[in-house]
């Protein structure tokens, strides 16, 4: 079984964290005999809540993130992952849809992600509000450590508040082949659909990233340490849960994000997790534990997928005939 152990943060990285008021933690899962180690940094960020213009607030966020990047680089991180739509306030309460064109035009997130990928040699998992053919999408980008776009995934399943604002991406459950393994994406709400993660696992995903924006006292908070742990175990993969932190006030609405970002292993172990504060969680995983888990845990070898497919086809026909 793959347990976790705490890893001491270097003095340089800890000094940067202390000086800039963010937490930094590091842990590692036990490794196999011939490990394929990957070091992942979750950036649990908060968007500045001020009276400044959007662009000024975003620049302040980027300045904070850049300092976090310097700290992460001291720890030899390979992959850096951000929360859902991290570089703006939650747009479905905060932004008038009529102004979204202007917001997207003034949004420099894409350029910023390219810059930090190149400067710090990270593979980036970053979420943006995308406009294409006059339609808006909740999009996750994968950017290689040499600044090349590996691919993008547009959120397909959306909660009611997003449906009236965004277009749905195609159903295609893409798995991206990267320098640090095969990666699948579930954006926030999509973790509620176990068939989605099952398809990603069957298509070869070794790590599923779940960038999210989840608030306290919600069903999502109660399920937070259940759903993606189950995703990891049921599919024999690693699952990375990334949430925002901080508070955002929108007049009639306010959101307080619960943070609690973590990594789950295919053996059902959860890493250290962050609290509700801004910070970095660094977790070293061994991708060879995936094969080990799938060999040792019997239900990976005994599932009868053809039976599930048969039932699903029959249920779909029945529903279409109603």
Q: Are 2 and 265 in contact (CB under 8 A)?
A: yes
| Least confident interval from 59-73, 105-119, 300-314 | 300-314
Q: What pLDDT score was predicted for residue 93?
A: 72
Q: Are 285 and 42 in contact (CB under 8 A)?
A: no
Q: What pLDDT score was predicted for residue 291?
A: 93
Q: What pLDDT score was predicted for residue 97?
A: 60
Question: ∠3-45-86 over CA atoms, to 5°?
Answer: 115
User: What percentage of the chain carries pLDDT values higher than 90?
Assistant: 71
Q: What pLDDT score was predicted for residue 157?
A: 93
Look at 249 and 228; give whichever has higher pLDDT: 228
Please say if the pLDDT value at position 258 is more than 90.
Answer: yes
pLDDT digits (tens, 9 = 90+) for 205-222: 999 999 999 999 999 999
Please say if the pLDDT value at position 2 is more than 70.
Answer: no
292 by DSSP, 3-state: which?
helix
- Classify residue 141 as exposed, middle or buried by CB count within 10 Å of its CB (0-12, 13-18, 19+): buried
Q: Given CA atoms 67, 69, 73, 76 in this order, what sign does their dihedral have?
A: positive
The residue extents of the domains of the chain are 4-320
pLDDT category of residue 322 using cuts at 50, 70 and 90: low
Rounded Cα gap, residues 111 and 229, in angstroms: 33
Q: Is the pTM for the entire model greater than 0.85? A: yes
Q: Average of pLDDT values for 7-32?
A: 96
Q: What pLDDT score was predicted for residue 319?
A: 79
Q: What pLDDT score was predicted for residue 115?
A: 97
Q: What pLDDT score was predicted for residue 313?
A: 85
Pairing type for strands 37-44 and 175-178 reads: unpaired
First to last CA, the chain: 48
| Least confident interval from 23-37, 99-113, 220-234 | 99-113
The CATH code of the domain at 4-320 is 3.60.110.10
Average pLDDT in the chain: 91
Q: What pLDDT score was predicted for residue 96?
A: 61
Pairing type for strands 238-242 and 207-211 reads: parallel
| Least confident interval from 74-78, 133-137, 227-231, 251-255 | 251-255
Rounded Cα gap, residues 91 and 85, in angstroms: 8
| Least confident interval from 21-25, 64-68, 130-134, 258-262 | 130-134
Rounded Cα gap, residues 179 and 275, in angstroms: 30
Q: What pLDDT score was predicted for residue 182?
A: 98
Q: What pLDDT score was predicted for residue 128?
A: 93
Look at 105 and 205; give whichever has higher pLDDT: 205
């Amino acid at each position: 079984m793959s347990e976790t152990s705490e890893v001491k943060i270097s003095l340089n990285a800890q000094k940067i964290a202390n000086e800039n008021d963010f937490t930094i933690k590091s842990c590692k899962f036990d490794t196999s005999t011939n490990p394929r180690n990957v070091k992942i940094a979750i950036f649990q960020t908060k968007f500045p809540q001020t009276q400044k213009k959007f662009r000024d607030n975003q620049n302040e966020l980027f300045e904070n993130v850049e300092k976090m990047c310097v700290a992460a680089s001291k720890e030899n991180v390979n992959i850096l992952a951000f929360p859902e739509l991290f570089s703006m306030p939650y747009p479905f309460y905060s932004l008038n849809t009529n102004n979204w064109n202007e917001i997207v035009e003034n949004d420099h997130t894409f350029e910023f992600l390219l810059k930090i990928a190149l400067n710090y040699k990270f593979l980036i998992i970053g979420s943006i509000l995308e406009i294409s053919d006059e339609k808006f999408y909740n999009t996750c980008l994968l950017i290689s450590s040499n600044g090349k776009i590996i691919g993008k995934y547009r959120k397909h399943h959306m909660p009611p508040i997003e449906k009236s604002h965004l277009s749905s991406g195609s159903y295609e459950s893409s798995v991206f082949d990267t320098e640090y393994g095969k990666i699948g994406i579930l954006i926030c709400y999509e973790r509620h659909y176990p068939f989605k993660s099952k398809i990603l696992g069957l298509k070869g995903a070794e790590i599923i990233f779940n960038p999210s924006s989840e608030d306290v006292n919600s069903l999502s908070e109660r399920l937070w340490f259940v759903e993606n742990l189950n995703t990891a175990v049921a599919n024999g993969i690693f699952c990375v849960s990334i949430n925002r932190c901080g508070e955002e006030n929108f007049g009639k609405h306010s959101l307080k994000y619960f943070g609690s970002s973590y990594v789950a292993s295919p053996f059902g172990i959860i890493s250290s997790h962050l609290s509700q504060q801004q910070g970095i969680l660094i977790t070293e995983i061994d991708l060879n534990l995936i094969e080990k888990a799938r060999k040792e845990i019997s239900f990976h070898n005994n599932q009868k997928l053809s039976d599930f497919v048969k039932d699903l086809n029959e249920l779909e026909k029945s529903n279409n005939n109603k």
